[in-house]
Amino acid sequence: MEHVIIIGNGISGVTAARHIRKLSDKKITIISGETDYFFSRTALMYIYMGHMNYEHTKPYEDWFWEKNRIKLKKAWVSKVSPNENKITLATGETMHYDKLIIATGSKPNKFGWPGQDLKGVQGLYSKQDLDLLEENAPNNKVCKRAVIVGGGLIGIELAEMLSTRKIPVTFLVREHNFWGNVLPEKDAKAINNHIKEHHIDLRLNTNLKEMIADKNGRVRAVVVEETGEEIACDLVGLTAGVSPNMDFLKDSGIDFGRGVKVNRFLETNFKNIYALGDCAEQQETTGERRPIEAVWYTGRMMGEVVAQTICGNKTAYKPGHWFNSAKFFDIEYQTYGWVFPQPRDGEAHFHWLHEDGKKCITINYQIASRKFVGINTFGIRMRHEVFDRWLTEKHTVDEIIENLEQAHFDPEFYKRYEKHIKEQFKNELKINA
């Protein structure tokens, strides 16, 4: 019986395992050194905040794996030997595979800042990181102030987490605005305000210079590049993005660039080795997508695709229309299609902001053809299925605005904003005409 080994028990690897089991009788082993069982990494923040405990974050009960004959092994993989179809574990044990799936996810970026390996300096990605955070910042007596470096999704989550334990947070953001390399300025400004509303000391256009240690090798302060200001702190959260976790592949002969290089079938340069999820780097990208997509949803899709290929139905990774979501403190964010921070040539943005400053949308469209390109929504829920259809059918921005009610997904009895949005859209059309 063919043995499929999957390294990594995140959403990509686990989705692959589940679909391989649906389609075949192959022997499946998932190896992870992080946890015994699959859990939702995106829920780590809720464990620290006390909304859930670790058990709640497991999408499947523990009996699920044995029932579906998916073997789980808790170990770190230290080496892959493609020519011998063999992997070596940190314990020295070796295992033979027929097909190997690398789904090892990411690790937090470190850009060579002085002091980046001090005690009290950490990222937030794994269960181990969470346990470490519980040690470094259990409350505001042990951790009197935290500094977060990097204004993206993990950074704002960490800020929210720490603020629930009443730990003062200084948030260093390199760009002009929070997540300024992704969000249009007006959207980002609304989030800036919301961050400050939560008493976060938000510092825009600010870079980290270095971290200073106390006599025990623990961080005691960070120094700001621009001003030289020293900010005393007991925790530094490094959240300046993530990069593929693949150090153990170094001398394996598997091709890698920034990530493990794969073709459209998620195959590496070895025919029986695949890579998916955060750690995979597409050599040929789809549409506007980046070569490395460290997103839950794309990991899940790749898992489904690779299962088809491994079970004899060779299938290319062809993700549908881009979508994503996040939550910034109390403001939910959804996006469908593409909205760039600046409209590209021939494109324009329509922006609507509610008077409370916590609900807004930005629609990206082509000026000449008026084709709808994408939408960002904040504080308003919209229907994925409807926007996916609109994108496929290539509707115009005017049609989207006219039929916005169809995409409504807020709970019942919520106030509706379509009327305001339409009015503003029409007024702007008149002014521009």
Partner 1 sequence: MAHNISATGDTTYTLSLQQKLATLLGFTGLFILLLATFNVSFPNKTLWLTLSLSAICVGIVWFGVNQYQNKIAGIKNDGIQFSSLTSRGILAWMLGLFLTGFYIVLYFYPQYLGLTAEDQNNTGIIALFDPLSYLLSGNPASQWFVYGTFYTIAVVFFGIKFIYKYRHNHYQRLRTFSVMFFQLGFAFLIPEFMARLNSESFSLPYYDLKNIWPLNHYNFEQYRVDEFISAGNIGIALLIFGVASIFIITPILTYKYGKRWYCSWVCGCGGLAETAGDPFRHLSDKRLSAWKVERWVVHSVVVFVVVMTTAVIYSYLGDASKGYWLTRDTFLIGVAILLTLVFAGVIVFKRNEFKKDALYGAVGYLAIILVLIGLHYFQGSQLFLFETETLRSTYGFLIGSIFAGVIGTGFYPIFGNRVWCRMGCPMAAILGFQQRLFSKFRITTNGGQCISCGNCSTYCEMGIDVRAYAQKGENIVRSSCVGCGICAAVCPRGVLKLENDSMKGRINSNDVLLGNDVDLMKLVNER
> Judged by CB under 8 A, does residue 165 bind partner 1?
yes
> Judged by CB under 8 A, does residue 25 bind partner 1?
no
> Judged by CB under 8 A, does residue 312 bind partner 1?
no
Report, in Å, the least distance between residue 269 CB and partner 1: 24
> Judged by CB under 8 A, does residue 287 bind partner 1?
no
Stretch of 1-9, 96-104, 301-309, 360-368 contacting partner 1, by CB under 8 A: 301-309
Side-chain-side CA neighbours of 35 within 13 Å: the count stands at: 21
Near partner 1 in 325-344, by CB under 8 A: 325-327, 329-330, 332, 334
Report, in Å, the least distance between residue 300 CB and partner 1: 6
> Judged by CB under 8 A, does residue 320 bind partner 1?
yes
**Is the CB of 225 or the CB of 267 nearer to partner 1?**
267
* Helix, strand, or coil (residue 102): strand
CA-CA distance, 179 to 252, in Å (whole number)?
36
> Judged by CB under 8 A, does residue 381 bind partner 1?
yes
Question: CA–CA distance from 287 to each of 24, 80, 321, 396 (Å)?
Answer: 32, 32, 9, 19
Report, in Å, the least distance between residue 383 CB and partner 1: 6
Side-chain-side CA neighbours of 286 within 13 Å: the count stands at: 15
CA-CA distance, 97 to 288, in Å (whole number)?
35
Full strand arrangement of the beta sheet holding 3-7: 70-74, 27-32, 3-7, 99-102, 273-275
Stretch of 71-79, 104-112, 263-271, 321-329 contacting partner 1, by CB under 8 A: 321-329
Tokens 């063919």 -> residue: 2
Report, in Å, the least distance between residue 270 CB and partner 1: 24
> Judged by CB under 8 A, does residue 265 bind partner 1?
no
Question: CA–CA distance from 313 to each of 57, 276, 308 (Å)?
Answer: 32, 17, 5
Contact map string, positions 52 to 91, toward partner 1, x by CB under 8 A: xx--xxxx-x------------------------------
**Is the CB of 138 or the CB of 257 nearer to partner 1?**
138
Neighbours of 422 (CB within 10 A): 15
> Judged by CB under 8 A, does residue 313 bind partner 1?
yes
CA-CA distance, 383 to 389, in Å (whole number)?
10
Question: Are the C-beta atoms of 306 and 266 separated by less than 8 Å?
Answer: yes
**Is the CB of 63 or the CB of 92 nearer to partner 1?**
63
Question: Are the C-beta atoms of 13 and 277 separated by less than 8 Å?
Answer: yes
Report, in Å, the least distance between residue 46 CB and partner 1: 6
Stretch of 47-55, 69-77, 84-92, 217-225 contacting partner 1, by CB under 8 A: 47-55
Which segments within 156-196 are labelled E, that is strand? 169-172
Stretch of 123-131, 242-250, 362-370, 407-415 contacting partner 1, by CB under 8 A: 407-415
> Judged by CB under 8 A, does residue 110 bind partner 1?
no
Tokens describing residue 150:
């990097």
Question: Are the C-beta atoms of 400 and 390 separated by less than 8 Å?
Answer: yes
Neighbours of 341 (CB within 10 A): 17
Residue count of the chain, please give it: 433
- Which spans of this chain sit near partner 1 (rule: CB under 8 A)? 11, 19, 22, 40, 42-43, 46-47, 49-53, 56-59, 61, 138-141, 164-166, 197-198, 296-298, 300-301, 304-305, 308, 313, 315, 318-321, 323, 325-327, 329-330, 332, 334, 381-385, 388, 409-415
